[in-house]
Amino acid sequence: MAFSLFTSKNRIINLVINDHSIRFLELKQTNPPGAQKWGERLLPPGIISNGKIIDIDSLANILEECIDDWKIQRRSVCFIVPDQLVIIRKVTVPAEIQDDEMKGYLYLELGSSIHLPFEEPFFDFFSLSNNGKTKDLLLFAAPEQHVMEYAELFTSLKLNPIAADISPLALYRLFHGLGLANQNEKLIIVQIDLTHVNLCIFEDSVPVIMRPFSLPFNLDQWDIKRGSVDMLELQFIGDTDEMVIQFEDIFKELLKILDFYRYSLSSEKQDVSRFLLTGDHPMLQAIVNEMKERFEVPVDLLSLDDKLHGKTGSMPANFLLSLGLALKEVK
């Protein structure tokens, strides 16, 4: 699933923009595909909040500088819709509705049989089951206003936005592409970034529930410097008790979504069979270690066995989401 805008295959750039950073990655057209080049820029607080653009002028100025620095002028762009904007819902529709008629039907049902917490959604769907009378769909939706703000920003800077994706699907695409997925698996992707967390449970390759939430972030509590390959390196210098509280909050939310899945969504009351952790949080390994102590379910950290090399050196783990997004262009 991806929110398609229009089609182009001309030297695609993959952008991941969140509350604290801008990252780009260009795919190397090899077999298997790899990363050609990448880069990142830290965003000051207050420009984007909970995925919504707050200061469009400042973001435009920073992005324009990035475009020049990274030499990606006039390129086609795929981008990630911020997790905080995305909703996944299971809906049931009459079986006679054909796929080419589905979007029109769903638009008509918005506000009556289908309720979303925002008007004018930007959405796509994925077909699940069909019993002859009805069929179940997964509806992926986001507020059109906020998604188009990103697309229009790119266009104003002479980039060509061609598609938008969501982070759980991009991460699962990479996970599957690395040959790590198992059949009939109940997997929860735990994506922990510097300013937010996204939890998403997959049944086989289908995301069935997603829960994003924000993390407190104070830039003054972090020491930031450029690493050996010109990537940002952050080290926490604040009160360690505050970080412990953040970790505990993450574990509480994780238990909540696991209980909800166990007793509400899964008809057979099944538990997840594996945790897959990823994200750009500098203390991710410490979280992995703590989860291995707390949970009996296997805990894996998404990583590449062989480091990818491109024009800018070895690809950091912060770019795994960008790489998963880029793999969408590989058919």
C-beta neighbour count of 313 within 10 angstroms? 16
**Distance between CA atoms of 307 and 108, rounded to whole angstroms?**
48
Q: pLDDT tens per residue, the chain (331 residues)?
A: 455 444 444 579 999 999 999 999 998 866 666 788 899 999 999 999 999 999 999 999 999 999 999 999 999 999 999 999 999 988 888 989 888 888 888 888 887 788 888 878 888 888 888 888 899 888 899 999 999 999 999 999 999 999 999 999 999 999 988 888 888 889 999 999 999 999 999 988 889 899 999 999 988 898 888 765 557 788 889 899 999 999 999 999 999 999 988 887 655 667 889 999 999 999 999 999 999 999 999 999 998 754 455 555 567 888 999 999 998 865 5
List, in order, residues 6 or more apart from 331 with CB less than 8 Å away: none
**Beta carbons within 10 angstroms of residue 16's beta carbon:** 25
Cβ atoms 70, 24 nearer than 8 A: yes
Q: In the structure encoding, which two tokens stand for residue 170, read together?
A: 């991009």
H helical segments located in the chain? 56-70, 99-109, 144-156, 167-177, 240-260, 284-294, 320-326
Of 26, 43, 42, 22, the residue nearest 34 (C-alpha): 26
Domains and CATH numbers, the chain: 3-85+143-329 (3.30.420.40), 87-142 (3.30.1490.300)
Cis previous bond, 212, omega within 30: no
Q: If residue 15 lies in a helix (H) or strand (E), which one and from where to where?
A: strand 12-17
Please, what is the Cα angle at 219 between 216 and 225, to 5 degrees? Answer: 135
Rounded Cα–Cα distance for residues 162 and 76 (Å): 6
Backbone angles phi, psi at 235, to 5 degrees: -130, 130
Rounded to a whole number, what is the distance in angstroms from the first to the last CA of the chain?
A: 14
Distance in angstroms (rounded) separating the CA atoms of residues 216 and 281: 13
